[in-house]
């Protein structure tokens, strides 16, 4: 049985593909210890799908991945907030504004991934990477918060969230002037992250702070 669960999202916002799912499915095909599951980009359906996947695969590590178009690099997230404030509708047409992910839940959860160690390892592998301190307020943050809320009841399971840039395919199709990263390189970065997380319990004591 796979001991790592990884999720990516279906395309959204008019895109034909989502590199988060493309990279996760590629990594799932590479490794027997990784179960890859696609999440719908829908507020009502994303967390139930994630919970079913955790119950089915019973992983020791969960890494959810989403697209953050416009970002320069792969960005492991540090903190999820208990807020949904959708700038655009999801794939089901829902656009909730200023509602909690979990009513009466904590204001925020921190990842239990060793994000600084993961960033150092990914950088050493030659893939652009940095720590992110915000996962936004869309379905990605909802899933990140919902994951950590679930894992608060499963103390033997660690997890977190990673954002990835547009793929070159998306940029070429739209003509947008935006940074991109190949799906194979994203998959390489995610594989390094998984390996680092599996062997690392204590994160590096180095600065990854941001001024803004």
- Catalytic sites, residue numbers: 77, 140, 163
Residue whose C-alpha is closest to residue 119's, from 19, 189, 14, 199: 189
Task: Give residues with Cβ within 8 angstroms of 117, minimum separation 6.
Answer: 196, 200, 203, 204
9-33 b/e (C-beta count within 10 Å ≥ 16 → b): bbbbeebebbbbbbbbbbbbeebee
Helices (H), the chain: 19-30, 43-57, 115-124, 139-151, 168-174, 183-199
Beta-bridged to residue 132, according to DSSP, are 77
Euclidean distance between CA atoms 182 and 114, whole angstroms: 24
Distance between CA 62 and CA 155 in Å, rounded?
Answer: 12
């Amino acid at each position: 049985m796979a001991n790592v669960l990884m999720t990516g999202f279906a395309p959204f916002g008019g895109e034909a593909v989502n590199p988060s799912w493309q990279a996760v499915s590629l990594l799932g095909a590479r490794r027997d210890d990784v179960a890859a599951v696609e999440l719908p980009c829908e507020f009502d359906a994303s967390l139930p799908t994630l919970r079913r996947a955790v119950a089915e695969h019973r992983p020791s590590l969960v890494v959810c991945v989403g697209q953050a178009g416009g970002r320069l690099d792969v960005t492991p997230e540090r903190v999820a907030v208990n807020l949904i404030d959708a700038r655009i509708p999801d794939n089901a047409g829902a656009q909730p504004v200023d509602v909690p992910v979990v009513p009466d839940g904590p204001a925020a959860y921190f990842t239990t991934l060793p994000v600084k160690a993961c960033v150092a390892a990914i950088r050493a592998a030659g893939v652009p990477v940095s720590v992110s301190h915000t996962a936004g307020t869309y379905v990605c943050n909802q899933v990140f918060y919902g994951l950590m809320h679930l894992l608060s009841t499963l103390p033997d399971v660690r997890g977190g969230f990673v954002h990835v840039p547009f793929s070159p395919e998306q940029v070429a199709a739209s003509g947008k002037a935006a940074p991109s990263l190949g799906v194979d390189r994203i998959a390489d970065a995610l594989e390094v992250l998984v390996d680092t997380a599996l062997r690392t319990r204590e994160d590096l004591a180095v600065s990854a702070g941001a001024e803004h």
